[in-house]
Amino acid sequence: MDISFTLALIIGLYTFNQAVSGSNLRERVYNKVKNFAVTADPFKTHENIKSALACGMKCTSDCCFMANFIQTTKRCLLFRNLLHDNTGYVNPDITKWEQITPSQGSQILYTKSIYRDCQEIYNTGCDVDAVYTIQPNMGQPPFNIQCDMTSGGWDIIQRRIDGAQDFHFQTWDAYKQGFGDLQTEYWLGNDKIHILSNSGNYMIDFDLRHPNGNWFSESYDNFEITDESDKYRLTIGNAIGGDAGDSIHGHGAIYDPGNMQFSTIDRDNDGSGLNCAEALKGGGWWYSSCGRVKLNAVYSSDGEYDTGNKGLNWHNITKVHLYAGQYASIMETVMKLKQVLP
């Protein structure tokens, strides 16, 4: 590609991008990137596309945030999330459209602006549940997250579906970085939860599926955690609605995770003589001594909370709503944040 054509292409795409994203709340100009990997599959692939500009034009709807045009094959790949480097972080120096790896036949990238959270993406008119890239704090790296758009743009920080992903044996560092698959079961990571929850006034919602099939939920205001230097200490406000019952604050100080630091099987920061994370098969959590909520615990596939402490607990549901004569174990969980806008 000669220089004049490249320039024309850049000007064309730049004009185009300004037109489609001029109303974005967090307009952002990207720089160049040399090494990248796309960590998600494209949600759509167009064949026989004539130009990068035509490919970019395909990325104006369907919650598309990145287009990758491969000149050699004339393929146009559309993504919901943005570029990633090998650590899983979005490269902060990505470009709106940049000719990359010319030796492999030029690929040209086009990305839209990046948003602070799922609610901002939802407010652009995007209502597809998927993995998106957000940047809650402009001074910190962006990251990917599954957005619950069905409920209006919530940031999912934890999700369990069937127990395929272990949560119990994960170390402090694993909880710090995050683990699992953003498409299915995962813990977002304490560093990211810290960044997100400190970038505004966030509420948290717990969605919980009982083995009898019913979903329950409970919401709390003022959710945030400190950074690693304070061991991700939890602030969680009052229960503000839902039908699950208040298992966070409702059972007394010895069970209350509020103001507690995070503990894992290899880091005991709880208020008990035991290591709650290990002794209760509880996985990483903000244990006091110990707690009435245990959503990162060893999964119980039969829906029963057994005598060996195997199972996911939300006391007001699992004890009150008995299952097969035993305590129940929660089958599916979602922990999700949403900014309370002034």
With a CB cutoff of 8 Å and minimum separation 6, the contacts of 22 are none
Residue 71 or 264 with smaller CB distance to Ca ion: 264
Strands (E), 65-214: 66-70, 75-79, 99-100, 107-111, 130-134, 143-148, 154-160, 179-180, 186-187, 202-209
Is 165 a residue that touches Ca ion (CB under 5 A)? Answer: no
Q: Which is nearer to Ca ion, 266 or 268 (CB)?
A: 268
Q: Which two tokens stand for residue 202?
A: 């966030």
Minimum distance from residue 252 beta carbon to Ca ion (Å): 18
Closest to 241 in 3D by CA, of 216, 208, 210, 213: 216
Nearer to Ca ion, 85 or 268 (CB): 268
Site string for Ca ion, 51-90 (x = CB under 5 A): ----------------------------------------
Considering the complex, what minimum distance in angstroms separates the CB of residue 254 from Ca ion? 12
Give the binding-site size for Ca ion (rule: CB under 5 A): 3
Q: How far is the CB of 124 from Ca ion (least distance, A)?
A: 45
Residue closer to Ca ion, measured from CB, 140 or 272: 272
Minimum CB–partner distance for residue 274 and Ca ion (Å): 6
Q: Write out the binding residues for Ca ion, residues 257-316 only, by CB under 5 A.
A: 268, 270, 272
Tokens of 228: 């690693």
Least separation in angstroms between CB 276 and Ca ion: 6
- We find the least distance from the C-beta atom of residue 268 to Ca ion, in angstroms, to be 4
Q: Min. distance of Cβ 208 from Ca ion in angstroms?
A: 26
Give CA separation, 198 vs 5, 191, 225, in Å.
Answer: 45, 11, 7
Distance CA 59, CA 281 (A): 46
Is the CB of 256 or the CB of 270 nearer to Ca ion? 270
- 251 exposed, middle or buried (CB, 10 Å; 0-12, 13-18, 19+)? middle
**Alpha-carbon span 235 to 226, nearest angstrom:** 8
User: Please, which residue, 17 or 296, has the CB nearer to Ca ion?
Assistant: 296
The token pair at 194 is: 């810290």
Task: Give the residue with the Cβ less far from Ca ion, 238 or 259.
Answer: 259
User: For the residues of 28-49, what is the DSSP string, one character each?
Assistant: ------SS-B--S--SEEE-S-
CB of 253 to Ca ion, least distance (A): 16
Q: Is 129 exposed, middle or buried (0-12, 13-18, 19+ CB in 10 A)?
A: middle
Cβ neighbours of residue 257 under 8 Å, at least 6 residues apart?
Answer: 234, 236, 248, 285, 286, 287, 288, 291, 293
Would you say 222 or 289 has its CB closer to Ca ion? Answer: 289
Strand ranges in 82-135 using DSSP code E only, listed in sequence order: 99-100, 107-111, 130-134
Binding site for Ca ion (CB under 5 A): 268, 270, 272
